[in-house]
Structure 1
Amino acid sequence: MDRDETLAEKVYGRLRGALVGGRLVPGQKLVHRQLAAELGVSPTPVREALLRLVSEGALDLDVRGISWVPRLSPGRYAEIMDLRGELEGRAAARAALLATPEEIATLRAIHDRLMEGRRAKDAPVVLAENERFHFGVIAIARMPVLQKVVEHLWTQAGPTINLLLTVPRPDWPNGHPHEDLLRALDAHDADAARAAVERDLREYAKIVAPLLERDSGHGNPD
C-alpha cells in the first residue's frame, strides 16, 4: 500500500511536469497500461495518478475510461490566464518587497539562459527556463497557498505551449517583460513588478488565443 502510494505520487509528478512543460500535447491519449510499461511501474499507480489529474481538471476522461489531454476552449484559456495574471502579479508585488540581491541574481541567470535558448531556437530550454523563472518569483514571495493554485493553473494551460511552435515568435517591442520585472525587483517597486508580470502573460495570451480559436472545432480524440 505505502509503496503504491509513493509510486503514484512519483508518477503524478512526472505527468504533471510533462503537462506544465508542454511535453504532452492537446488531444494526446494517455493509456495507463502503456504509460506503466514506459515508466517501469505497475498499472495501479499510473491509474491513480491519471485520475488525480482528471479530478484537478488537467486531463479529461472519455467514455472508454481513457485519459487524454484536453483542448482548451478559448473561454477557459482566457479565464486561466486572467487568474494567472492576478495571482502571479500579486506574488511578484510581494517578491519585490522581499527579494534579496542573491535571489534576484539567480532569476537574472535563469532569464539569461532562457534568452540563450531562444537565440538558439532550443524550445525545450526556453520552456524549462521560463517555468523556472516564474516559479522562482513565486518562491521569493513565500506564498505557498498561492503557489499551489498557480501550479494547478499551469498544469491545465501547459500543453497550449505547443501552439507557439506552430507560428513565428515575435520580438518583444518594448523589451522582454522579465527584464522589466528584474528591474522592479532591484528597485523594490511592487507596482512595477506586478505590471511586468501582467504584461508578460497578456502578450503571451495574445499569441495563443487566436491559435485556440483556430483549433476550437476539434473535440475528443478518436
Structure 2
Amino acid sequence: MALATPFTPLDRDETLSEKVYARLRSALVGGRLVPGQKLVHRQLALELGVSPTPVREALLRLVSDGALDLDARGIAWVPRLPPDRYAEIMELRVMLEGRAAAQAALLATAADIAGLRAIHARVMEARRIGDGAVLLAENERFHFGVIALARMPVLQRLVESLWTQAGPTISLLSGLPRPVSPSGHPHDDLLHALAERDPDAARAAVERDLREHAVIVAPLLQ
C-alpha cells in the first residue's frame, strides 16, 4: 500500500514566484536596483508580464532575506545600508570570498584562468569607456566565476546572500571615477595567484579588492 505524500502539486503561481524571485534577486546582486528605489508589486507585475500574486510573494521573500524593506504602506523598497551593516557584510565577504579564492588556486585549470582573464578584460574596457552597467555585470561574473572554481556550494550560497544585500550599494561605485592604482588592479594579482597555484596570494588579492571598494563606498553611506 502506497504511503500518502505530504506534498501537493506546484501550481503555476508558485513556479512564477520562484522565477520572479530569481529575476529580482539577480537585479539586486548586479546593482541594477539602487538604494531608495521603490518596488510596487502591481507595476512590476505589468513589466514582467505576470499576475501580482507571484510578484508579491517574491518581494516578501526578499524582505525576509534582508534584501528589501517595507514602508508603512507595505510597499517594498531597496534600503540604503547603514555604515555598520555594510562594514559587517564586507568583512564577511572578505572571509568567505578569500577562502573561495584560496581553494580556487588549488583547483583552477589553465582554461578556467583564461576565461577569467577574458572577463577581466571586459571589466577594464567598461571601466575605460565609463559603461557602469557592463562594469557591474562583468565584475559580478568575475567574482562568482572565481567562487564557482572553489566547488564550495554552501559558501557560494552564503556569498550570494551577502551580494543580494550589498549589490545596490555596490552600484554607487559605477558613477565614480576610479583610476587604477599604481600597484595595478587586484584582479590581475588574483589571476597571477591562480596561475601560480598560490592560495595565500589569491586570498590576499581578494581582500585587497574588497577593502579598496569598501574604502570608497563607506563615505557615501554616511
Class of the TM-score when normalised by the shorter of the 2 chains = over 0.9
Matched, 1:131 2:178: no
Q: Name the structure 1 match of 2:217.
A: 208
Matched, 1:21 2:67: no
Greater shift, 61-70 or 76-85, is seen at 61-70
Q: Name the structure 2 match of 1:65.
A: 74
Query: In 1, distance between residues paired with 2:181 and 2:141?
Result: 20
Q: Name the structure 2 match of 1:98.
A: 107
Query: In 2, distance between residues paired with 1:64 and 1:121?
Result: 38
Which of 161, 173, 192 does residue 170 from structure 2 map onto? 161
Which of 29, 38, 50 does residue 47 from structure 2 map onto? 38
Q: Deviations for 1:58-110, whole angstroms, at most 9, x for unmatched residues?
A: 00012211111001000000000000000000000000001011111111110
The DSSP-based 3-state class of the residue aligned with 1:41 is coil
Q: Name the structure 1 match of 2:87.
A: 78
The DSSP-based 3-state class of the residue aligned with 1:116 is helix
Q: Deviations for 1:135-163, whole angstroms, at most 9, x for unmatched residues?
A: 00000000000000000100100111232
Residues 152 and 143 of structure 1, relative CA distance in 2, 3 Å threshold: same
Structure whose CA Rg is larger: 2
| AA of the residue aligned to 2:61 | R
Matched, 1:52 2:61: yes
Which 5+ residue runs of structure 1 have no aligned equivalent?
214-222
Greater shift, 1-10 or 41-50, is seen at 1-10
Q: 1:166, CA displacement in angstroms?
A: 4.2
Matched residues, number: 213
Query: In 2, distance between residues paired with 1:50 and 1:32?
Result: 8
Q: Name the structure 2 match of 1:176.
A: 185
Q: Name the structure 2 match of 1:216.
A: none
Residues 138 and 30 of structure 1, relative CA distance in 2, 3 Å threshold: same
**% identical aligned pairs:** 78
Q: Name the structure 1 match of 2:12.
A: 3
Greater shift, 83-92 or 112-121, is seen at 112-121
TM-score, normalisation: structure 1: 0.94
| AA of the residue aligned to 2:140 | E
Greater shift, 161-170 or 147-156, is seen at 161-170
Query: In 2, distance between residues paired with 1:163 and 1:133?
Result: 19
Q: Name the structure 2 match of 1:220.
A: none
Q: CA RMSD in A?
A: 1.0
Query: In 2, distance between residues paired with 1:110 and 1:26?
Result: 27
| AA of the residue aligned to 2:32 | R
Query: In 1, distance between residues paired with 2:101 and 2:147?
Result: 7
Which 5+ residue runs of structure 2 have no aligned equivalent?
1-9
| AA of the residue aligned to 2:82 | S
| AA of the residue aligned to 1:67 | A
